[in-house]
Structure 1
Amino acid sequence: MTNEQSRPLAWVAVDWGSSNLRAWGMDQQGNVIAQSSSDKGMLSLKPDEYEAELLHLISPWLPASSRVEVMVCGMAGARQGWQEAAYLPVPTPLGQLSQGAVMPTLTGSQLRVYLLPGLSQTRSDSRHFDVMRGEETQLAGLVADTPEFSGLVCLPGTHSKWATLDSGAITQFTTYLTGELYQLLATQSVLKHSIGSDALNDSACRAAFIDAVSEVNAAPETFSSRLFGLRAQDLLDSELPVGKTRGAVLAARLSGLAIGLELSGACQSRPSDEPITLIGNQALCQRYTMALNAIGYQTHYLDGDTAVLAGLKLAHQALPH
């Protein structure tokens, strides 16, 4: 917990995920004057426990008398969370997320809480259903500084999101189960006997990753056979290094296959002269930059924490005051 309160607290920004909670105390000019976090995410809380947990985290910042507004994004607004903030259908202007916010009933009088909605997509022509909750606020953070932003944005993660933005509005998006798929294959399939630590920390690992991305991107129909080929390579390839490096190279190749398959869908028919914006964790975005560069795309990067805080500011500014 850090606290640099030399200026009065104006409101509180909160990112409430499945496994953790982060809060920032904001002054009237939108500067962070305090911040704190806990491991009390949605998965460890019942609906009637959210208010107490939030107060436990931010009560040192609160003034003695006035009520403080709290803007919350993420899983606190899920059906299993504090109170459901129903999904807004796309297309949606990202500067208007707070119009779909809900206000949970509170037992105390210190806070006025707004839970931001997620976004949904239903395309009956292709039976394509999709949802996001939390990433929409990061996308709002992107358009906070560039209100008319248009382009393709990738938010890498356990469930990677690819969103198309047009003049500051999200028009469509697709989720890829890439991170979870990698974890399942690496730990619960026959490949677990071959896969080691995945760090891309040497030239052999980086080369294996890039080669795998390029191979499966060019021929996505070979994905399943190339997966089993990892096990066979471990058994038969005398040129693979020994020891921990062997497992690391095969892990890098598995990561490249999974991400390469994602890119073959997400970048299909996408002009290579239009850069793709990446939002999220720096290390993971660097990995996606390496993969995208390998198939001919350039990228821009926005830090995920910076984006979510900018998105919460934008949503707070849009509230009627």
Structure 2
Amino acid sequence: MGSTVMSETPDIADQLTWIAVDWGSSNLRAWGLDQHDQVIAQASSDKGMLSLKADEYEAELLQLVVDWLPATGTTKVMVCGMAGARQGWLEAAYLPIPTRLDQLSQGAVTPTLTGDQLRVYLLPGLSQTRSAATHFDVMRGEETQLAGLVTDTPDFTGLACLPGTHAKWATLEAGAVSGFSTYLTGELYQLLANQSVLRHSIGNDELQDPACREAFISAVSEIYAAPETFSSRLFGLRAQDLLDGRLPAGETRGAVLAARLSGLAIGLELAGACRECPTDEPIMLIGNQALSQRYTLALNTIGYQTQHVDGDTAVLAGLRLAHHALK
């Protein structure tokens, strides 16, 4: 098992009040917090949901945080993400929207544990059905990041995007999620780049390179204006590699085509996610810096402004909100 632990104080057990956990499909991250909700320790493991059976979660969590725990008493653990999925530790059923983000803990479930050192709360995800079952959607984990937006502004209203393998777009109204959509943009890019005919042409793009940046911006603009041409423009990448003498040689050639593929994929997502949104209201991006910068460039290209919240900051804020709601 691969794991890392970082402690910020030598006497964690004396200060620990509760533990926040983000348990994803591939990774597990935990933070120890004191009575002021300040992080005093953190740890991570590569034991995500895909690596565990239901009866293995307790031992994995204990192995990661046991050194933080006081000698006596029970420590609360607030968990978001895939540990609450049907194939996870214990299913925390999806809450149907509209759902207030400061009330996620009302849907939490508590798995039965063999020991008494921990009391674990698994937060639910959100679900959506629309128009006679023509638009089903679910999220699990992202709702806690969205909850981070309402920590200081309970009545937050606006559009938020969480870029990633499966990008989420959520509409928030007065602190509640009123609608959301998922786009498989990241997964689509990887499939096209690695398993389609395009694999012969696609390299690793770097948007700091002026040529890659220009290719990305151009692709976003083109596909946003004509999303129906997406499939045709995809094959055009292969043809361009074969025929376009203006493309640079070597690794830069593949990088430029990769940037163009990225622009086509993200631009197609934007055509569906925000075409009817007013351009005078910024879109909130929640996620890591690099991917958020890529989405900012794409959104700026089509006339939108953005604000950014770090993904870890958001999920911790959301877990704090859920923890306080349990008190």
TM-score grouping bracket, smaller chain normalisation: over 0.9
Match of 1:4 in 2: 8
Match of 1:191 in 2: 198
Match of 1:98 in 2: 105
In structure 2, distance between residues paired with 1:269 and 1:93 = 24
RMSD of aligned residue pairs (Cα, Å): 0.8
Structure 1 counterpart of 2:105, which letter? S
Match of 1:290 in 2: 297
Q: 1:112 aligns with which of 104, 114, 119?
A: 119
How much has 1:75 moved relative to structure 2? 0.3
TM-score (norm 2): 0.97
Match of 1:207 in 2: 214
Q: Does 1:124 align with 2:131?
A: yes
Structure 1 counterpart of 2:187, which letter? E
Q: 2:152 aligns with which of 125, 142, 145?
A: 145
Match of 2:277 in 1: 270
How much has 1:126 moved relative to structure 2? 6.1
Q: What do residues 165-190 of structure 1 show as CA deviations (whole Å, max 9, x unaligned)? A: 00111000000000000000000000
In structure 1, distance between residues paired with 2:278 and 2:84 = 36
Match of 2:164 in 1: 157
How much has 1:21 moved relative to structure 2? 0.4
How much has 1:125 moved relative to structure 2? 4.0
In structure 2, distance between residues paired with 1:17 and 1:126 = 27
How much has 1:2 moved relative to structure 2? 1.3
Match of 1:177 in 2: 184
Match of 2:308 in 1: 301
In structure 2, distance between residues paired with 1:128 and 1:246 = 39
How much has 1:274 moved relative to structure 2? 1.0
Structure 2 counterpart of 1:157, which letter? G
TM-score (norm 1): 0.98
Three-state SS of the structure 2 residue aligned to 1:2 is strand
Q: Does 1:22 align with 2:29?
A: yes
Three-state SS of the structure 1 residue aligned to 2:124 is coil
Q: Does 1:44 align with 2:51?
A: yes
Q: What do residues 272-318 of structure 1 show as CA deviations (whole Å, max 9, x unaligned)? A: 11110000011000000000000000000000000000000000000
Three-state SS of the structure 1 residue aligned to 2:41 is strand
- Which segment is superposed worse, 214-223 or 5-14? 5-14
Q: What do residues 52-90 of structure 1 show as CA deviations (whole Å, max 9, x unaligned)? A: 000000000000111000000000000010000000000
Moved over 4 A (4+): none
Unaligned runs of 5+ in 2: none
Three-state SS of the structure 1 residue aligned to 2:190 is helix
In structure 2, distance between residues paired with 1:48 and 1:254 = 42
Unaligned runs of 5+ in 1: none
Q: Does 1:218 align with 2:225?
A: yes
Structure 1 counterpart of 2:275, which letter? Q
In structure 1, distance between residues paired with 2:278 and 2:76 = 43
Structure 1 counterpart of 2:75, which letter? V
How much has 1:201 moved relative to structure 2? 2.8
How much has 1:145 moved relative to structure 2? 1.8
How much has 1:124 moved relative to structure 2? 2.9
Q: What do residues 240-295 of structure 1 show as CA deviations (whole Å, max 9, x unaligned)? A: 00000000000000000000000000012111111100000110000000000000
Q: What do residues 188-229 of structure 1 show as CA deviations (whole Å, max 9, x unaligned)? A: 000000000122130000000000000000000010100000
Structure 2 counterpart of 1:192, which letter? R
Q: What percent identity do the matched residue pairs reach?
A: 77
In structure 2, distance between residues paired with 1:130 and 1:52 = 32
Structure 2 counterpart of 1:278, which letter? L
Match of 1:281 in 2: 288
In structure 2, distance between residues paired with 1:20 and 1:177 = 20
- Which segment is superposed worse, 116-125 or 174-183? 116-125
Match of 1:61 in 2: 68
In structure 1, distance between residues paired with 2:269 and 2:115 = 46
Aligned length: 320
Match of 2:85 in 1: 78
In structure 2, distance between residues paired with 1:313 and 1:237 = 54
